[in-house]
Amino acid sequence: MREPPSDDLFFAPEDAAAATPQALDASPWKILIVDDDPGVHDVTLFALRDFDYAGRGLKFFHAYSANEAVDYLESHPDIAIALVDVVMEEEQAGLKLVRRIREEMNNSMIRLILRTGQPGQAPERTVIREYDINDYKEKAELSAQKLYSTVLACLRAFRDLTALEGHRAGLLQVIDASAVVFRIQGLRDFIKGVLEQLVALLYLKKDSMIINGDSLAMEHHAGGMTVVAATGRFSPLVDKPLSELPLAVRAVIDEAIRRKASIRKADIFAGYFCPRPGREDVIYLCGYRPLNDDEVRLIELFLHNTAIAYENILLRDDIEGTQRDMIYMLGEAIETRSKETGQHVRRVAEFCRTIALGLGLPEREADILQIAAPLHDLGKIGIPDAILHKPGKLDEPEWRIMRTHAALGAEMLKRSEREILVAASLIAGHHHEKWDGSGYPQGFSGADIHIYGRIAAVADVVDALSSRRTYKEPWPFDAIWDYLRAQSGVHFDPEIVAWVLANVERLEAIRQAFPDEGDPPHHP
């Protein structure tokens, strides 16, 4: 099937810009002469020897049979016009060729001019009505001037059709690329996806080589501009500030920010978009062939579409950030009521995310676990103060009451269908279960305990043991790791314990990054 010639418009090679009023292509128009009489080929060449349209001459291909013509059309799908003899190796060879071009090869772009020296064999009215051709001429009447006019009219039509098809293909590419990035949820991943799709748009034409193509995406916020995604020689600069970029690159990006518009210079393109006030982003591409006006408009349309999606992601992040802060504050309020003040809920959340990623859980699940973990002891709001604040050991009746907090928290949270609160319900209800089945409230064991609960159980105990409480002093880390080792397969999931023991420095770093008031600079 013939590949549509849309790419000829959208991303033409450097030496052949799109055939539009904005950017004229210097390569010649391709003309196929299909006739079994060599003399007709010679006369045609002579009649069109000085032909020029839109700054482009003609390049001729010579076929002496229908089969030869098909070979040329398959190897040169961008042939603009075919001058076809009706009668060649058989009486209707030219008519059969026309039908094959239109119906079998699906080539609707090429302009077809039928020529015949035997008009009685194929009456003009019948041929024009039944075959998808663009003109029908008798050889005897086709003077050099008429041939010139016919070819010129057909080239004009081919140019316009190619331009329309190019715009259509370009818009489809923008729609497809936009659809890809719209499905991306994370902000950094989104920006990276925009960069990848924009670079992909430059590969539309098969023979458009990208030489030393490099690209990067900059994010401008209150703290200054930072590289958030990059390819080629810019790859090592991810997360680096604008100041570390080459001076020439910085100048173009600064100009785009200052003008609040995209910049195009030779083989450089800096796409500017502003998803919201106070936040500006620049996509920088270099090492590519120059872009024409139509290509730039399509890229800017793509950036406009992605800016809308970008704003939606920022709004979602704002909402999730607000939810996260509210959950932290609620978790801290619970801990304050139980006299366990400090950074407990934040550390448990960080522990949970770190362990989850270490175990291979998807980043999205690790993020949900991190947000939901601060609510692991929500049920404590239903426990009497006398029990929560008792400085000594609880007696058996008090302990039975204390243990109800897991079920109470799970019950309160399960009323919501929100993803984070569903996760929080699982954590609240499962984080006091034990691997050997001796925990509470359900007595679950092994893999029946949800992975969120198994992770939170380790995180909660590690932080509790390493923190000062009304009834105890903090344990040294070595003692905590010994305790985990002893409780592997009893209290805790052995796989989780094994990962923690192999990565103790990561948990120790979190404990030191979020110290309680009064903690020494380096925790024991």
List active site positions.
380
The residues, ordered by sequence, that sit 6+ positions from 272 with a Cβ below 8 Å of its Cβ are 256, 257, 259, 260, 261, 262, 263, 280, 281, 282, 303
Cβ neighbour number for residue 154 with a 10 Å cutoff: 22
SS (H, E, C) 480-509: HHHHHHHHECCCECHHHHHHHHHCHHHHHH
DSSP for residue 189: H
**Around Cβ 487, how many Cβ atoms within 10 Å?**
18
Instruction: Return d(Cα 189, Cα 492) in angstroms, integer.
Output: 34
Compute the distance between CA of residue 245 and CA of residue 239 in angstroms, rounded to an integer: 11
Mapped onto helix, strand or coil, the DSSP state of residue 366 is: helix
Per DSSP, helices labelled H in 235-292 are 247-259
Who's near 21: CB < 8 A, 6+ residues apart?
none
The helix (run of H) or strand (run of E) holding residue 398 is helix 396-413
Round to whole Å and give the CA distance between 119 and 139: 9
For 26, list phi and psi in degrees, rounded to 5.
-85, -15
Contact 458, 434 (CB under 8 A): no
Sign of CA dihedral 123, 128, 133, 136: positive
Largest interatomic CA distance in the chain: 116
Taking a C-beta distance cutoff of 8 angstroms, is the pair 380, 334 a contact? yes
> 443 and 424 in contact (C-beta within 8 Å)?
no
Taking only Cα atoms into account, the Rg of the chain, rounded to an integer number of angstroms, comes to 36
How many whole angstroms separate alpha carbon 296 and alpha carbon 242? 24
Close Cβ partners of 502 (under 8 Å, ≥ 6 residues apart): none
Q: Is 504 exposed, middle or buried (0-12, 13-18, 19+ CB in 10 A)?
A: middle
Which position has the token pair 């954590």? 427
* Omega before residue 441 within 30° of 0, cis: yes
Q: And the tokens for 165?
A: 């098809």
Residue written as token pair 């043991």:
465
How far are the Cα atoms of 116, 181, 300 from residue 272, in angstroms, in the given order?
57, 17, 8
